[in-house]
Amino acid sequence: MHDPLCTHHDHDEDAAYRRAFDLVTRRDFLRIGSLTIGGLALAPFLRAAPAPGARAKAVIQVFLFGGPSHTDTFDPKPAAGTDITGPWRKAIGTNVDGIQINELLPGIAKHADKYTILRGLTHRTNGHETGVYMMQTGTDPSSGLVYPSMGAVIAHKLEEAGLLKGRALPAYMTVPVALGRFSEPGFLGPRARTFVPGNLSDTLKDSERQRLKNRDQLLAELDAFGHSEKDLFEEADYFRDQAKEMVLGETREAFDVSKEPEAVRKLYGDTEFGRSCLQARRLVERGVAYVTVNMRGWDTHRDQAERYKKLMPDLDQGFSALLADLARRGLLDTTIVTCGGEFGRTPKFMTDPPWNGGRNHYGAAFSWLVAGGGFRGGRIVGATDQRGERVVERPIAPWDLSASIYKLVGIDPTGTLPHPGGVPAAVVPTPPAARPGAPKGGGKISAGGTSDIPVASDGILKEIMPA
């Protein structure tokens, strides 16, 4: 949801983006599935083998689209004036001594031993599109290439290593909707696009099921004539069989949260975000390597207090349930969980009309949470000043976070990706300013015009990585 008072031009084509990345409906699946020429025996719950040296098998990225306020979430400033704190002056303790978060998140506070708060995140932009691109791809836009998202890279590397054979579910999925703010596959092409399940959790009508079976039988008979382009048709057959399995097979149940016990559904909450977090857990449990959970509504330029009455309880319940549920099932050790947005919000709480209590975009300093998959919990990395306006300790660039995630899933951040133009493409490209021979002062990130601070040393969050 976009605030009409936001004057940034990157909102202008928001509706067009959403239309372009609309949900895939059941009718689309019936159309795709009706072409199936049954060939592959797809194991519905086959989990992908981890890459060599990997600590993590899967990633769940909780993306708070619009930019959550860092001072109202994971970096509270109770000693600052009301012009900074707004109506939420209180910081509360967590289950880890010395770590406090905002009073609005009491559920998440109970699980601080499972996550680390990255309070030193910073990048160059206050624009949604560029901020989303940087945080979703973990790359600097000045690299000169349109990079794929981390989910697309991980799925590609698993496929490249032959670790996705026979799997019924796509390796990279997004719930409940795609952002439409950037091209997830980047230069990897359409095959690397995220898969949005849409309404696959709905009950399939008997008439639809029978119609699909009839068409499949017809095509099976036609298939007896053989293919002149064997390799091309074998690849098409695989994806059609995959679509068929998701519509008719056991795999469909992966999307249906109603199959969960009532107590589990109650734990997550009966909200779009809660259900999406539960669906993400079900997907990684069944072998999906990367799931993005998009939570909308965080672009709070005005009336933030009213908006947070809905957003904060939903976030608190859904995210805390996800951490607790993964840990209880023994999945947190092998599943990375992250939570954050494309940037933070201005520390200054704007009470004048037309804002009436709101905060603007702020890329100078913001926070993310990381948990599981080898990341150590119960820690804080980085710090902002007393008003949350700039990073004063251990700045973290988006590519530091992506490099660390890749390392844990067994992908070499200095490795390469295939580019259709044949140009060199590193998994995590070195920002131009940090390359050898750059002008003196390179390797710095402009902190929103307030100061210049050096980027992290080598792209890896060593403080919270396995020994």
* Domain residue extents for the chain: 9-464
- Residue 305 DSSP class: H
DSSP 213-227: HHHHHHHHHHGGG--
H-helix or E-strand containing 244?
helix 230-248
Average pLDDT over residues 434-446: 41
Residue 9 has pLDDT above 50, yes or no: no
The percent of residues above 90 in pLDDT, for the chain, comes to 62
Strands 290-295 and 172-175: parallel
Helices (H) and strands (E) in the chain, counts: 12, 15
Residue 293 has pLDDT above 70, yes or no: yes
Cβ count near 413 (within 10 Å):
20
What is the residue whose two structure tokens read 């951040």?
Answer: 413
Q: What backbone phi and psi angles, to 5 degrees, belong to 72?
A: -95, 5
Greater model confidence, 432 or 166: 166
Q: What pLDDT was estimated at residue 210? A: 57
Token couple for 357: 């209590």
What is the rounded distance in angstroms from the CA atom of residue 146 to the CA atom of residue 151? Answer: 15
Token couple for 14: 């928001």
Cβ-count burial 164-198 (b if 16+ within 10 Å, e if not): beebbbbbbbbbbbbbbbbbbbbbbeeebbbbbbb
Q: What pLDDT was estimated at residue 23? A: 36
The percent of residues above 70 in pLDDT, for the chain, comes to 72
Residue 326 has pLDDT above 60, yes or no: yes
> Which of 132-141, 225-234, 453-462 has maximum average pLDDT?
132-141
Residue 446 has pLDDT above 80, yes or no: no
Q: What pLDDT was estimated at residue 212? A: 58
Single out the residue of 308, 310, 320 nearest to residue 277, CA to CA: 320
Q: What pLDDT was estimated at residue 201? A: 58
Quickly state the pLDDT bin for 124 (edges 50, 70, 90).
confident
Q: What pLDDT was estimated at residue 457? A: 45
Cβ count near 27 (within 10 Å):
10
Q: What pLDDT was estimated at residue 89? A: 86
Token couple for 153: 């890279």
Residue 82 has pLDDT above 60, yes or no: yes
Q: What pLDDT was estimated at residue 153? A: 98
Write the Ramachandran bin of 189: left for phi over 0, alpha for psi from -120 to 50, otherwise beta: left
Q: What pLDDT was estimated at residue 467? A: 81
Mean pLDDT of the chain: 81
Residue 14 has pLDDT above 90, yes or no: no
Q: What pLDDT was estimated at residue 120? A: 97
Contacts of 67 (CB under 8 A, 6+ apart): 128, 131, 298, 299, 341, 342, 343, 344, 345, 361, 362, 366
**pLDDT, tens digit, for every residue of 30-49?**
333 333 333 333 343 444 45
Token couple for 9: 């031009």
Beta pairing partners, 426: 416
Quickly state the pLDDT bin for 206 (edges 50, 70, 90).
low
Reported residue count of the chain is: 467
Residue 232 has pLDDT above 60, yes or no: no
Residue 445 has pLDDT above 50, yes or no: no
**pLDDT, tens digit, for every residue of 345-391?**
999 999 998 898 999 999 999 999 999 999 999 999 999 999 999 99
Quickly state the pLDDT bin for 181 (edges 50, 70, 90).
confident
Residue 127 has pLDDT above 90, yes or no: yes
Q: What pLDDT was estimated at residue 167? A: 80
Q: What pLDDT was estimated at residue 143? A: 82
pTM: 0.83
Beta pairing partners, 292: 61, 174
Residue 423 has pLDDT above 70, yes or no: yes
Lowest pLDDT segment from 34-38, 331-335, 436-440: 34-38
Cβ count near 105 (within 10 Å):
22
Quickly state the pLDDT bin for 404 (edges 50, 70, 90).
very high
Quickly state the pLDDT bin for 454 (edges 50, 70, 90).
very low
Greater model confidence, 223 or 346: 346
